[in-house]
A and B are shown apart, each in its own frame.
Chain A
């Protein structure tokens, strides 16, 4: 069935360094790829998304890239800060319907001050 693989499962960086989280999806019809940040005990928050007609999108310190041919997409966080510490989930739309999402397994990011 459809699935989304996410790596790494944990990532520890020093404050100010960059962090990269990678996801691979299986459904070639997927066309919407959001990223969520979930702090401990809180709800997942949408932080950035990208659609299949775009290769890269930036929002301040975060950026997402998409390679549809390889079915890869990645989250890049630059100049990391301790408040970036959280679990990050990638997701991909199921088939041609952008509103049904399948989530990756999550990456625990720890930013060391």
Chain B
């Protein structure tokens, strides 16, 4: 497996502002993903972070709201833009190890007031 860290671990933000979440891995990985987990709910894939190119977004998620960067094979950021209370969730990055095993970061708990 790999050691995956996220910053910040939690934050409380005002509506209308933006927050950038960082995901760092201790080894190079081919694929990184961003998920959202709303309170008491399951995990939903937001997008695949592609190294050196634009992220691939799932249905219901758009780049203007969730811009993603992946400048290298160990780091990615997710920005939650123009936040509203409905964006209050846990945001998790995951990385692909071996051919298909995904391992998750510790998550960022976001509260929007």
Judged by DSSP, the binding face of B is strand
Q: How far is the CA of A61 from the CA of B29 in the complex (A)?
A: 31
Task: Please tell me if the beta carbons of A46 and B48 are within 8 angstroms of each other in the complex.
Answer: no
Looking at B11-19, B79-87, B93-101, the stretch in contact with chain A turns out to be: B93-101
A contact residues, range:
20 to 34
Chain B residues whose CB sits within 8 angstroms of the CB of A46 once the complex forms: 101-103
Chain A residues whose CB sits within 8 angstroms of the CB of B45 once the complex forms: 100-102
B contact residues, range:
20 to 34
Chain B residues whose CB sits within 8 angstroms of the CB of A32 once the complex forms: 100
Q: Which chain B residue lies CB-closest to A6?
A: B42
Task: Please tell me if the beta carbons of B107 and A93 are within 8 angstroms of each other in the complex.
Answer: no
- Does B106 make an interface contact (CB < 8 A)? yes
> In the complex, which residues 45-63 of chain B have their Cβ closer than 8 Å to any Cβ of chain A?
45, 48, 59
- Does A18 make an interface contact (CB < 8 A)? no
The answer to whether residues A103 and B42 also contact, given A1-B59, A43-B107 and a CB cut-off of 8 A, is yes
Task: Please tell me if the beta carbons of B99 and A105 are within 8 angstroms of each other in the complex.
Answer: no
Chain B residues whose CB sits within 8 angstroms of the CB of A34 once the complex forms: 101-102
Task: Please tell me if the beta carbons of A44 and B99 are within 8 angstroms of each other in the complex.
Answer: no
Q: Taking the nearest CB of chain A, how far is it from the CB of B104, in angstroms?
A: 4
Q: How far is the CA of A32 from the CA of B100 in the complex (A)?
A: 8
Task: Please tell me if the beta carbons of B96 and A105 are within 8 angstroms of each other in the complex.
Answer: no
Task: Please tell me if the beta carbons of B104 and A44 are within 8 angstroms of each other in the complex.
Answer: yes
Chain A residues whose CB sits within 8 angstroms of the CB of B43 once the complex forms: 44, 89, 103
- A55-79 interface mask toward B, CB cutoff 8 Å, 1 = contact, 0 = none? 0000000000000000000000000
Which residues from chain B sit less than 8 Å from chain A, CB to CB?
31, 33, 41-45, 48, 59, 92, 96, 99-107
Closest 3 CB pairs of A and B: A98-B100, A43-B104, A103-B43
Q: Can you list 28 A-B pairs, Cβ within 8 angstroms, ordered by A? A: A32-B100, A34-B102, A36-B104, A42-B106, A43-B104, A43-B106, A44-B43, A44-B104, A46-B101, A46-B103, A49-B101, A51-B100, A89-B43, A93-B100, A98-B100, A99-B31, A99-B33, A99-B48, A99-B96, A99-B100, A100-B45, A101-B45, A101-B102, A103-B42, A103-B43, A105-B42, A106-B41, A106-B42
